[in-house]
Structure 1
């Protein structure tokens, strides 16, 4: 903060960042100005998947909705920092204890804004991973369409020309198309499960760290409030001189240390399954191992040796379909942001 003491004076990596390096800055932060949130959000949501393959439309809408969520969180984080600064500005003209405590509270609130900004970057890892599933869905759509087209052609010929020699040729093409589609569908099934687990692992890990650090800040914030003397005074009575400057700085330092040293292994909140949930989970795992369920988690390893044959493409190398909406998405966002800025200029006039 601008008056006395700020947690942001220290930029050394935290223990959590050393253990889990922070991701690149979120794609929602690059080269944009905030327009009217409701307008741009509604347009983005309604236009999601409008021009993409049918198979990927639902997930395209989810990806766009998550972009709305991230931009909302980014805006909240920035405004929270501004609120923290204004709180300190207001408190500067108050009595010594209120002035000092509000300044330190501003430090904590500003830190909340910083944490929310960092949370957006980690949340973007989840969104980008979900997008990779969408891209795979888009790449599978052509094989489905080809198989359906050949099936329709065969049905039409059998109805109009039952003895046509083209039927045999089309049936052979259908066999090849079904084989290609089978590989594509298996790949989609495998990658969907792999990426779904990875995506929500990113989100839940980010949520856990964010929530625990917020709880730490809230706890130290309440310690700061104890420094304010709220004993009622009678008119003309003078309060005791404030002597909590060193205590408030020590509280802020303790809070910074707690945030810096936080790691997931030391998280205060633990998710413990009930006996029933644990039993059901173990039973399902055992059943799957006995063949009563289908475990796709190891198929990637078995199929990995077929890369040269073209039957298997790792998710990271899957490029087909990736650009079908990404370029359109950025162009659309630029248009929406320009419209939002134009609305802002109209309102200001």
Structure 2
């Protein structure tokens, strides 16, 4: 009887131990294991929410004014398919415009440009745009120039240092920018117009376009590390930098060290002594997970983000939080 009672007591104790252990695990694991596909879906949704569409006749061309006041003019009869055949009939314009770092984060469209040495460095933007024209499933191109007029007051004062950039999605799925030089005989460029307080773009290539210049800082710079919890990596999360007093700049840490679980970058572009906000984003069961840390950069700074720093939020709330950063 004593043996039977002992066995019963051990069984009850085991059940209690398992129950307590499960409760502790539930308490410590505040978020689901992040999923790369879910994270990309959040970004796709954010980009879809910004997409403006307009149907028009190719023979007529179009003058399209966006919700922010940017004007896109595509001349009549100036569209063809990718084989060079002229297009007629109804076509659809898709237009995306981004001016603030909040929308840059949720869509993963930071402003990082290649310099003459091939280094990827932060830019100050006057607006980034994606223009696509399709007919059914066909992607169309333009054999002649179209124009875009961007109000400068969407990003502050008119900046005469701005130039035109063309965007490309790299192998990691990140948008990076190159200066838009002449290509295939096409003229493209940008002019800051004082009379209309606008940036006037002419271009012959659809896709991502940006009004930008390199961020300038004369002091010393450093390479920083942002350490994240073990379950996060560069496929299911991302790290961005928002500089103090630079509302039109969003840098990205585009390298990830799997052995030590930290994000960084190649070139050591972060100014020593400045204040910035480190912005971490990921997902949990399809919801946005984020952390924002304010830091002052020292030489070789390491910023640690722990699970206790993380919170969930909505897309619109995260945009508001980021745009409110000084």
* TM-score normalised by the chain length of structure 2: 0.21
Relative contact order, CA 8 A, sep 6+: which one is greater? 1
Q: Which has the higher helix share?
A: 1
User: Which structure has the bigger radius of gyration?
Assistant: 1
TM-score normalised over the length of structure 1: 0.20
